[in-house]
């Protein structure tokens, strides 16, 4: 029981750092030709999706908040707030769709997660910029979300067997 908890804590810590590293590395990538300016592939959503599947509610929210805190430290308050809003919205959405309903496949989860993430960011930029002009980006953003969501969803599906190996570590111990 005890060691299962520790293993879960370790995996949560590992995934937290993984999501921070992924989002940091991602910002070094040049803008993709097919994507509109400013669009990022959102690899750290993969981590949040897996976390919502098997780690649980507090762990997922912790990962999201830690990532937002990192964005706040490195890129300032507005970026931190955008990351928090986007992360929380997509995190909660993933907890519901992947954790509870279990109806979506990996691709659908990826798309939904990207859409939620971007919507959260758009809402924050609506308040910080104070103009509904930001919603002009909405159609472009939705299409970009489908593209990036399919990619992250496919990566999630490919990585799942390895993640599952990690999951066994703590779920087995928990049963004892």
Partner 1 sequence: MRRLVTRADVIIITAVILLAAFLWVLNPKETGETAVIRVDGKEYITVNINGELTETTVNGVSIVYGGGDIYIKDSTCRDKICVKAGRLSKQGQSAVCAPNRVSVEIKGKSKNAPWAVTG
Which residues, numbered 29-58, are part of the site for partner 1 (CB under 8 A)?
31, 37-38, 53
Q: How far is the CB of 16 from partner 1 (least distance, A)?
A: 22
CA distance readout (Å), 164 to 58, 169, 170? 19, 9, 10
Q: Is 143 one of the binding residues for partner 1 (CB under 8 A)?
A: yes
Query: The tokens 């509610």 sit on which residue?
Result: 57
Q: Is 138 in the site for partner 1 (CB under 8 A)?
A: yes
- Are 114 and 152 spatial neighbours (Cβ–Cβ below 8 Å)? yes
Cα 93 to Cα 74: distance, rounded to the nearest angstrom: 26
Toward partner 1, which CB reaches closer, 14 or 105? Answer: 105
Tell the smallest beta-carbon distance from residue 6 to partner 1 (Å). 26
* 17, 160, 169, 173: residue in contact with partner 1 (rule CB under 8 A): 160
Residue by residue, what is the 3-state secondary structure of 31-76?
A: CCCCCCCCCCCCCHHHHHHHHHHHHCHHHHHHHHHHHHHHHHHHHC
List of residues contacting partner 1 (CB under 8 A): 31, 37-38, 53, 75-76, 78-79, 82, 102-109, 111-112, 115, 125, 128-140, 142-143, 145-146, 150, 153-154, 157, 160
């Amino acid at each position: 029981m005890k060691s299962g908890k520790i293993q879960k804590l370790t995996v949560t810590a590992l995934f937290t750092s993984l999501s921070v590293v992924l989002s940091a590395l991602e910002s070094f990538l040049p803008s993709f030709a097919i994507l509109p300016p400013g669009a990022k592939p959102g690899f750290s959503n993969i981590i949040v999706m897996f976390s919502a599947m098997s780690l649980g509610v507090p762990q997922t929210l912790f990962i999201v908040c830690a990532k937002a805190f990192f964005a706040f430290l490195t890129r300032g308050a507005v970026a931190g707030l955008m990351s928090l809003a986007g992360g929380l919205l997509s995190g909660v959405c993933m907890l519901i769709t992947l954790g509870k309903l279990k109806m979506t496949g990996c691709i659908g989860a990826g798309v939904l997660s990207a859409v939620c993430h971007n919507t959260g960011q758009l809402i924050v930029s609506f308040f910080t910029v104070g103009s509904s002009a930001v919603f002009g980006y909405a159609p472009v953003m939705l299409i970009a979300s489908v593209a990036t969501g399919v990619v992250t969803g496919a990566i999630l599906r490919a990585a799942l067997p390895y993640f599952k190996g990690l999951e066994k570590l703590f779920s087995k111990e928990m049963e004892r």
